[in-house]
Amino acid sequence: MAHSESLRVIGQLLESANIRNFELETDGPNYIVTCDPLTQNGEWVPHEFSLGEFTAQTTRRPVVAGPVRVRLPDIFRLETQAKQRRRQDSFQSEADSTVSQLLRSLGALLERMNVRVFQIRWGSNSVAVDCRRLDGRLDSVTYSLEKLQRLSASSLSRRSKRKFPNPGRHQKR
């Protein structure tokens, strides 16, 4: 599964748990997410984050502060659940600047750079990425959330053009 798809799924998981600051890194085909067990509002992170469930639960339980390993089978399962939700909620715009969409765009950028190993530090105003390319080069870059939103909008525009070709173009006969 591509980084863009995996990171979108992880972003949806983080959104469902109302987590806004986190670290995410690759671990072979898996990902490790580390976050503070308290949200910005001072609430405990919902237990569903540690269970990998998208459904809201009424009870909130404290979670041990520490890394959560998101394995490839978990990502496939969560993606299936998310597809079902997206079908039911067809009114949601893909252009929303959600964590999941921004992570998807960042994943697409990492794919274009031929990156396989990376660490992302997601803060309230910026996103820092350290990565190793397939050719062994190390890169480090920091994006403001505003810059990442512009990259995401550009990425969404390219995807929609691939899905819906320009109707004004005519094939030569």
What pLDDT score does 105 carry? 92
Segment 108-137 shows an average pLDDT of 94
Identity of the highest mean pLDDT range in 19-33, 48-62, 75-89, 95-109 = 19-33
CA dihedral 48, 67, 33, 36 (to 10 degrees): 70
**What residues pair up with 44 in beta bridges, in sequence order?**
38
pLDDT reading at 45 higher than 70: no
Give 16 or 119, the one with higher predicted confidence.
119
pLDDT of residue 8 exceeding 80: yes
Quote the CA–CA distance of 53 and 25 in Å, as a whole number: 20
Nearest to 14 by CA among 104, 130, 86: 104
According to DSSP, the residues that pair with 138 across neighbouring strands are: 132
Please answer whether residues 56 and 157 qualify as being in contact, where contact means their C-beta atoms are separated by less than 8 angstroms: no
Burial degree of 59 (CB within 10 A; 0-12, 13-18, 19+): exposed
Lowest mean pLDDT across 12-21, 42-51, 107-116, 121-130 = 42-51
Query: Is the Cβ–Cβ distance between 21 and 126 less than 8 Å?
Result: no
pTM score above 0.75: no
What is residue 32's predicted lDDT score, i.e. its pLDDT?
A: 92
Tell me, what's the pLDDT at 19?
83
